[in-house]
Amino acid sequence: MFNKNSVGKDGIETVIGPSVKLEGNFVCQGGIVIEGELKGSVKTAGYLEVGERANVTADVAAKEARVGGEVRGNIRIDGYLEVTSSAKLFGDIEAAFVSIARGAVVKGKCSILGEAKNTKNGTPKIKEETAVNSHD
Partner 1 sequence: MTNIYIYDQELSGRRYQKLLERLETRLTDLGIGGKIYRLAPMTRLESALKDELAKKPKTIVAVGGDALISRLAGLIAGTRIPLGIIPIGSSMIADGFGITTENACKTLAARRIVSLDIGRVDGQHFFVCRAVITANNPSLILDGELTVEAEGKALIEAVNITGDEYGYLGAQPLADDGRLNAYILKTEKSLLRKDISQSAFICKQLEIVKGAIKVELDGASEIKGARSIEVVPGLLTVIVGKDRKF
| Residues forming the site for partner 1 (CB under 8 A) | 1-8, 12-26, 28, 30, 35-36
CB of 51 to partner 1, least distance (A): 11
CB nearer to partner 1: pick between 11 and 114:
11
Determine which helix (DSSP H) or strand (DSSP E) holds 130, and give its type and residue range. Answer: strand 126-132
Residues belonging to the chain? 136
Q: Nearest 5°: CA angle at 22, between 100 and 107?
A: 25
CB nearer to partner 1: pick between 16 and 100:
16
CB of 90 to partner 1, least distance (A): 23
Pairing mode, strands 105-113 and 126-132 = antiparallel
CB nearer to partner 1: pick between 28 and 131:
28
CB of 15 to partner 1, least distance (A): 4
DSSP states along 45-111? SSEEEE-TT-EEEEEEEESEEEE-SEEES-EEEEEEEEE-TT-EEES-EEEEEEEE-TT-EEEEEEE
CB of 58 to partner 1, least distance (A): 12
CB nearer to partner 1: pick between 12 and 105:
12
